[in-house]
Amino acid sequence: MTTPTVRLCHLYPDLMNIYADRGNIAVFQHRLAWRGVRLEVTEVSLGDALTGEHDLYYLGGGQDRDQDLVADDLQTKAAHLRSAADDGAAQLYVCGGIQLAGHSYVAANGDRLPGTGVLDLETTAGTSRLIGDLVIDAELEGESHRVVGYENHVGRTALGTGCRPLGTVVHGYGNDGASGAEGACRDRVIGTYLHGPLLPKNPWLADIVLRWALDHRYGDEAPALEPLDDHYESAARTVAEKRATLNR
């Protein structure tokens, strides 16, 4: 029998990896392997053509100069990403990734970086940095879970009517420090400022993204993701949540 496989496209891993984003890829790989599913990773960077079909796309965070480098190149890939999202592929954008997944990001110096338009949002740099532990109540697939991480961004992100927040801020700042919203979602696309990396402490979120990816590849014949023993992950999430409470 052929081993079930999820095809992941990791965008700009050499540039957009400032917040240990490869840790998120490792979580995907191991949580699949423990269920007998293989993860096939294709790394795509500057000048590389984005071709073929993938079940999951990932873009992490980078410094401003890295985002500058990536933004123009990403325009050559934007149509592919929008089409993949419309086709039901899973996509996860973290920190700087969520800014480039929108329509544009206006930097502190006034420069406008074009985005892919996968998510209906706009981001503008603020005058202060939003930094610290971040805790949200996230809702996906009719389920609500506490999700934790770290945020460090100057961006103020405003959502359009074409997407909704990933969750509601419990501790921290979220998209803009004022609205109480964090992240953005549409179909099987998620953008968030949560990093650290995001997925090791939030296995529920990791498994939702993986289930989407498997559904994209196999449809009704997608292998089930059997429950795993996540007591270590739960303990780490509890510690992060307590730290966020103490630091506010």
Q: CA-to-CA distance for 33 and 23, rounded, in angstroms?
A: 15
DSSP-derived secondary structure letter, 37? -
Q: Is omega for the bond preceding 197 within 30 degrees of 0, making it cis?
A: yes
157 and 175 Cβ atoms separated by less than 8 Å = yes
Catalytic-residue membership of 9? no
**Active-site residue identified among 9, 95, 163, 185:** 95
Residue 164 CB-density burial (10 A; 0-12 exposed, 13-18 middle, 19+ buried):
middle
**Active-site residue identified among 54, 80, 171, 195:** 195
Angle of helix 22-33 relative to helix 203-218, nearest 10 degrees, comes to 70
H/E/C letters for each residue in 179-236? CCEECEEECCEEEECCECCCHHHCHHHHHHHHHHHHHHHHHHHCCCCCCCCCHHHHHH
Catalytic-residue membership of 80? no
Q: CA-to-CA distance for 186 and 147, rounded, in angstroms?
A: 18
Give the catalytic positions in this structure. 95, 195
